[in-house]
Amino acid sequence: MIVTLLGTGTSSGVPLIGCSCDVCRSLDYRDKRLRVSIHLAVNGHHFVVDTGPDFRQQMLREGISQLDAVIFTHQHKDHTAGLDDVRAFNFLQQRDMPVYGRAEVLEQIHREFEYVFAEHRYPGIPRLQLHEISNTPFEVKGVTFIPIDVLHHKLPVFGFRVSNFAYVTDVNHIAESEQHKLKGLDVLVLGALQRDQHISHYSLEQALGMVERLQPKMTYFTHVSHKMGKHGDVEKELPPTVRLGYDGLKLKL
Ligand SMILES: [Zn+2]
Ligand SMILES: [Zn+2]
Ligand SMILES: [Zn+2]
């Protein structure tokens, strides 16, 4: 399995429009963070988790020409706004794109991409095949995804485990009853927004506390704000088995 971090930035991305802080002006490529998403290549199958506003740019940057399914964590715009661009894969692959999400996510897709489901469709719009998921493991192309039901303030969000890898992005609470699904991991990609506490995301300290509990072999933080500090500075403070993710990072498992 190869996991590519397509984007590692919070909802505004880094740099932030109009901001001239040190992080936003940094020349380090690791301080340029598109909106969060990952690409998974497993047994010759290709998946993305979320299609944020930077989806098109991420597909181009990584040279991705095959996509078997889209799996959604939750319905926030920084995770869904780029869905229209899956039509490129409809044309390339000559088939509908399977999309997986919980009922609330699919309802929102229905509403916000209403033209996709219209009776008389404009030619060239995306062709989607929606699949509802719940908090039970599901299979796509023979690959088993185990949802992890977490909270993002009051909003339920899915993280996903595939084999010894797990991705949990927008989160500030993981119930004890879900934590067992995150034990024995080789790699965990976990949301950590900034140093200060936040209403709907783990702070750096809270994320480190969760890593301490779960003990994955390696952890990469994602959904990072410019308020976290420069990549190079933050990494110096982290334990050796915890790193900040950065856009384009590839993890081989
Ligand atoms: Zn988000
Ligand atoms: Zn800034
Ligand atoms: Zn969110």
User: What pLDDT, in 10s, does the model give residues 43-82?
Assistant: 999 999 999 999 999 999 999 999 999 999 999 999 999 9
CA of 150 to the centre of ligand 3 (A): 12
| Tokens representing residue 218 in the block | 């390696």
What's the pLDDT tens digit per position in 181-236? 999 999 999 999 999 999 999 999 999 999 999 999 999 999 999 999 999 999 99
Euclidean distance between the first and final Cα of the chain, in Å?
A: 5
pLDDT of amino acid 251: 98
By the CB criterion, residues less than 5 angstroms from ion ligand 3 are: 76, 170
Provide CB contacts within 8 A for 38, sequence distance 6+: 3, 4, 5, 6, 48, 49, 50, 167, 189
Query: Cα-flanking dihedrals φ and ψ of residue 61, to 5°?
Result: -60, -40
Using CA atoms, how far apart are residues 109 and 87, in angstroms rounded to an integer?
Answer: 15
Q: Which domains does the chain have, with CATH numbers?
A: 2-135+144-252 (3.60.15.10)
- For ion ligand 2, residues whose CB falls within 5 Å: 16, 19, 21, 24, 226
Q: Given this model, what pLDDT does residue 55 score?
A: 98
Confidence label for 91 from pLDDT (cuts 50, 70 and 90) = very high
Q: What distance in Å separates the CA atoms of residue 40 and residue 47, rounded to the nearest whole number?
A: 5
In the reported structure, the alpha carbon of residue 120 is separated from the centroid of ligand 1 by a whole-number distance in angstroms of 33
153: CA distance to ligand 2 center in Å? 24
What is the biggest distance separating any 2 CA atoms in the chain, rounded to whole angstroms? 56
